[in-house]
Structure 1
Amino acid sequence: MLVTIDNVHKAVGIPRAAFPVLGGLSVGLIALAYPEILYWGFENVDILLESRPFVKGLSADLLLQLVAVKIVATSLCRASGLVGGYYAPSLFIGAATGMAYGKFITFAISQSNPMFHLSILEVASPQAYGLVGMAATLAGVCQVPLTAVLLLFELTQDYRIVLPLLGAVGLSSWTTSRQAKRKDVGDPGKLKEGNVTQKPDLSSHDPSVLSSSYSVAAKASYASNLCEVESSLCVDDSNSETKELEKRIFVSQAMRTRYVTVLMSTLLIEAVSLLLEEKQTCAVIVDDDHLLIGLLTLEDIQEFSEREKARIRRSKEVLVSEMCSLDGEKCRVPWTVTPGMNLFSAQMIMNTLGVNQLPVISDHVEDHKGHPVGLLDRECISLAFRFGY
């Protein structure tokens, strides 16, 4: 369904903001015929499992219809960007499937020849099948077999259901895990359209080449899984549409305007406290005139601290200038960007230099150091891509 929605977006040109509206409208129209598929705070699951006297409940064919419609409605909601998860739908689908199976088994046994009516052929109520179906579906969809078993045992407080429960949950979890593993192992190097790279020559058995190739495949597989779970987590940097977006979005739209600045005379322990307080990983080093000197990252501080462990001197007395003087390459700024630069150029600079952040300097300052006005990192770029659609 996610692929279908994406193809519709590319072919028809419908803006992504319209998909939640269309998805909600479609589910609403479906709910006019099948209101049970809506979320009522698990009351609809209670209706399925209702076992009061003189209450017949829903028929098996209607339960199977609800299963099919619920799967379609859930897929529409997820693909169109509506908020929701898999927990409640999996419980509903499992309960309806289990109830339908239980009703079918009860009917089949009751219609058999009386001479075969043995005690071993007695079946439980359809509600018991519904409970086991809930746990099995939850374990398969969310890959939480132990949680599903404990949850159902807490609901029933009946140890007699544990054996069929363990069998159903184990089979469901094993089947889905095998299916996912087969999908990853069967084609680990398959990437999205426009992201195909030349296959490396493995005849030399170079460990670095092998490691690099499998690393790329693993990252691609991980990104693909994220896209399947949540479409907002999927950013395909090689897509031509994304490249056009990079050229349309400027650094000023993506950069952080709130960042940490420190002086060379600042104590290193104070700089760390400021970074942790602001939840930042990088600070901009400036002079008394607020002109750019360099960058200070938590990674550089950690490496410096590990090197200085052998020294008796306390870390509270170390200044930022002392750390930078010992290893000037750490604090040095290899390149800067300006607010008027587009993200395509900024990301090219990052990739070429192998850095994760760049200081943004003002366009109006003639000094070669520049006046910092922001900080651009890869997280800012990813967020800009998501909101840019």
Structure 2
Amino acid sequence: MNSVSDPRLRLSSENLLLLLAAGVGLGTGLLVIGFRYLIGWFRHLLQDTLVDSLLPLGSWVLALAPMLGGVLISALWVAVPLPSFSLSSLVSPARPLAPRPWWIPLKLLAAAISLGAGASLGPEAPSVESGGLLGSLLGQNLNLSRERVQLLVAAGAAAGLAAGFNAPIAGVFLALELALSRSFTTSAVSVVVLAAVVSALIAQVGLGAQPAFLLPAITQPAFVLPAYEVQGLLEVPFYLGLGLLASLVSIALSYSLEWGKRLFVWGPLAGWPAWSKPILGGWCLGLLGLGIPLGLGVGYETIESILQAVPFSLSQLGLLLLGKLLLSALSVGSGFVGGTFAPALFLGAVLGAGYGQVLSQVLPLISLSPPAAYAMVGMAAVLAASVRAPLTAILLLFEMTRDYHIVLPLMAAVGLSIWLTEQLHPPAVYPSVRLESLRAKGEAGQKAGLTVEEVMVAPSLLLRQDTPVREALDSLVQGKCHSALVVDAQERLRGILTLQDLERALARKESSELAELTVQEVSQAPVLTTFPDEAVVVAAEPMYQYDLRQLPVVSREDPEHIVGLLDRERVLLSQELQSVRQALEPEIPAEEDGIPGPSSDSQPVPQPVPEESTLSQ
């Protein structure tokens, strides 16, 4: 018998996926190695060679590197424009992308120029996104299902972080927390773990196996005890105080990045030609860098100095904190390429070091950990609150420093920081997109795709506010619905009732009390809605960001008047139809392409959550 046709030699779909994951890990590891060497080459060219040769002319030549970097970025975008994308857009079914192979080298080249020139960003986002792009390209070219393509994207993201920081465990948790938060399975973990391990091994061969930051416990002789230990239970509340401050700094970072984008994209500079913005940003970075040179660039050297207890005054730390916020905002807004992990780590280290110094001066009689210990905890707390990935932040700091002694207070500070940030400022810095920003881009989105009115369906079930709970449950069972829209006597939108609401009511009330309840008493309000003229890609983003099954469609003139329902199944159908339309557009006239309208037998599977009470959780 021909051995080729032997069933024992055929790969199952699961084994094929693992093999592809290993390939994604291998390719991502090689990409990260090349990316790091490219950053070093541009840094040597722009900062060492150019600046050092002109330094006799005066200290002002230090500003030339970011200025020249802005010129190179501008020339690059004019020559080969790169579409805007992020990890969220690669894994979100609301905005599927069809990447091109040249996106990866272009993204890495732009990031290498940006970071080599001194942009106040980090290398992690290009590494993570390049791995995700590689996974997406591989899966789509092999015609894999949407779910498996997303799994390979998550594997590539994990591989990118694993290789970039020599942190395979944190890379796995990044994929699980951000990319696979809604599709966590054992097989998915296997794929992600394999890609992260392979990528980390390749990166260790090319870049070395040392941690990202060297601490005194590592660099000093083995008999020297590490200084990063909690001195007693009395010190634990001080770390919680650091978690509180870290949440405020993460919110400040979020607002500063939004301000930078608004300044260059939607604000006073929106009318400027696109090619001029990186040049202007480079000039701003260069001039500000003359006063805050340590705020330019990735900042890992400064972070390592703080962790190694190099003395910084409180005034220096305060200037670095404010300067990094401003420089990062200008870098992002003007068009430089990089990630927000590094600024978050930098801000956390500076915050923790300053906080530790203040504590030692205010409480001289209490035995406290050195400021460097608080700096390490601050790094994880600010990063976790900014990225909304606490496990990734905790494990990343452990893998980057290889120091376990401070993990327990670190976990406490991270937990408090991310909880407070979720309460005070729900939107995340990376990779989520603010809903306000999406709504602001609604007009552009409408030009690029379908509107809600083209794909919405009629509401499957409406319940009056005064409907008894038992009758409402019968209606949900008969209609085979997870939820229903709650209306008043004039059928105006008043809330949403879900099966989960009924379960909570059953848990709180006795059977006799439950009989007296009405829908109004157990339903949730207000409700997140959308409009008929809004682009589907814009309206669907919060559905996948907050795991909603449907959105009520209301009139823009009267937000309480229900005109339809947008459910997840219709969104996915519209995405596929739009992709086919774009592919066939040169051959088939646009008016011949039809989008199926609402049908009477279409049954959405709703599972909505209220706007205010759930989006902040």
Normalised TM-score (structure 1): 0.48
Higher relative contact order by CA 8 Å / sep ≥ 6: 1 or 2?
2
Larger Rg: 1
